[in-house]
Amino acid sequence: MTAALQVDGLTRAYGALRAVDDVTMTVRAGARHALIGPNGAGKSTMFKLLSGEVRPSAGRIHYFGEDITGRSQPRRARMRIAQTYQHSSVFMPLTVAENVALATQRVQGIGTVWWRGADRYRERASAAHECLVAVGLADRSGDHVSALSHGERRQLELALALAARPRLLLLDEPTAGMSPTESADFVRLVKTLPDDLTVIVVEHDLDVVFSLATDISVLHHGRLLATGTPAEVSADPAVQEAYLSWSVTDDDVEEEFR
């Protein structure tokens, strides 16, 4: 089994609180791997550790065999680790196409040249169009982002991430605020992504998780409670017990440390 990510003994402490506590897990290449758990389980902190936003107190992270534990978030992005955020992060005054074009411009190393209009970079426009086709927004390319629905903005954020040509895609609560129909549409969209793209998703909607994930890891009080296929995880007595008192309306404990 080829590992896209190998996490060994990963720990993040805030004083006496261990938001992530000695987690060891493997994310196989090409998997749709979900991180779930009751509130306060450490999901948000784990996501930040994987993205490089937060440095671990202990442990190592290997990405396709390379130790990236000390790599910054921008450096990891250059290593083709892309992510979307729980809260929308797009340029509202720009059009859909302009948002994606900015992302593709960055990836292609095209700087700002004052004597040449950005729209003359054909490679940039072509790459942006491909990303929009991939997420089903090609027909909205000329619309301003402010005209998009919440679900469509999520699709646009996915297009921005795909513009980075990632090998690993991190999705943070991608269906938060979506209607059931929008969530189902998003699941179908993620399922169409290339098989060689590894996806890690932090998600509280279990319908989304079990519709999408090939592998699931369950965190509880910062520790890894269980990992396996959806069938294995759902049948685990410890997982069932941990979810008995789970309320998705409460904020995670680690949110206090953002």
* DSSP type of residue 87: S
CB under 8 Å to 143, separation ≥6 — which residues? 95, 96
- Res. 82: pLDDT tops 90: yes
- Fold classified for 1-80+166-258: Rossmann fold (3.40.50)
Q: What is the mean pLDDT of the chain?
A: 87
Number of continuous H segments (helices) and E segments (strands) in the chain: 9, 10
Please write the tens of the pLDDT for every residue from 139-191.
999 999 999 999 999 999 999 999 989 999 999 999 998 999 999 999 999 99
Distance of CA 59 to the CA centre of its chain: 21
The whole-number average pLDDT for the span 96-111 is 75
> Which amino acid is located at 94 in the chain?
L
The whole-number average pLDDT for the span 19-37 is 97
Percent of the chain with pLDDT over 90: 72
**In the chain, where are the structural domains located?**
1-80+166-258, 91-165
pTM of the model: 0.86
- H or E segment to which residue 43 belongs: helix 43-51
Q: What is the pLDDT of residue 250?
A: 40
Please write the tens of the pLDDT for every residue from 115-142.
455 555 556 678 888 999 999 999 999 9
Burial of 124 (0-12, 13-18, 19+ CB in 10 A): buried
Please tell me the least confidently modeled range out of 55-64, 126-135, 184-193, 204-213.
126-135
Distance of CA 147 to the CA centre of its chain: 24
CB under 8 Å to 137, separation ≥6 — which residues? 96, 152, 155, 156, 159
Q: What is the pLDDT of residue 101?
A: 87
CB 240 within 8 A of CB 39: no
